[in-house]
């Protein structure tokens, strides 16, 4: 099986959680998840997203607050020029999570 060079599907992220649960540290979780994802998804966003998710899980499980874990992961991605799209997506997710208007839009209409 070879990597699809343009593939950046969500399959890499959904399979990367175990790397973060292993307790090996954020750096190793990131690296092993990204390398594993790269076997099938050749686009950097596909494998960097997997690495980022695993790193965030590792950090949160080890007691780091989620906003700090996300920021540490964004910083970790900054050393990879090809990680810019993943960094931008994480940064945008943080911005949206901090928006009151977005939180209101996400409410269940039947719960109001």
What pLDDT is attached to residue 7?
A: 59
Strand partners, 4: 41
pLDDT, average across residues 91-105: 76
Question: For 36-73, how does the pLDDT look when each residue is reduced to its tens digit (9 = 90+)?
Answer: 988 887 788 889 999 999 999 999 999 999 999 999 99
Please state, in angstroms and rounded to a whole number, the distance separating the CA atoms of residues 30 and 88: 17
Q: How many CA atoms lie within 13 A of 14 on its CB side?
A: 4
Phi, psi (degrees; rounded to nearest 5) at 41: -115, 105
- Residue 82 and residue 44 in contact, taking contact as beta carbons nearer than 8 Å: yes
Q: pTM above 0.85?
A: no
* Interval 86-97 mean pLDDT: 91
Q: What are phi and psi of 56, to 5 degrees?
A: -65, -40
Domain spans in the chain, listed from the N-terminal domain onward? 11-111
């Amino acid at each position: 099986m070879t990597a699809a060079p343009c593939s950046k599907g969500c399959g890499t992220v959904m399979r990367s959680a175990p790397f973060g649960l292993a307790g090996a540290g954020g750096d190793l979780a990131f690296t092993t998840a990204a390398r594993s994802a790269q076997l099938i998804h050749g686009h950097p966003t596909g494998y960097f997203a997997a690495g980022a998710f695993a790193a965030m899980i590792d950090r949160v499980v080890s007691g780091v607050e989620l906003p700090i874990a996300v920021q540490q992961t964004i910083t970790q991605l900054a050393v990879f020029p090809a990680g810019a799209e993943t960094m931008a997506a994480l940064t945008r997710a943080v911005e949206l999570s901090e928006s009151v208007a977005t939180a209101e839009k996400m409410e269940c209409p039947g719960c109001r």
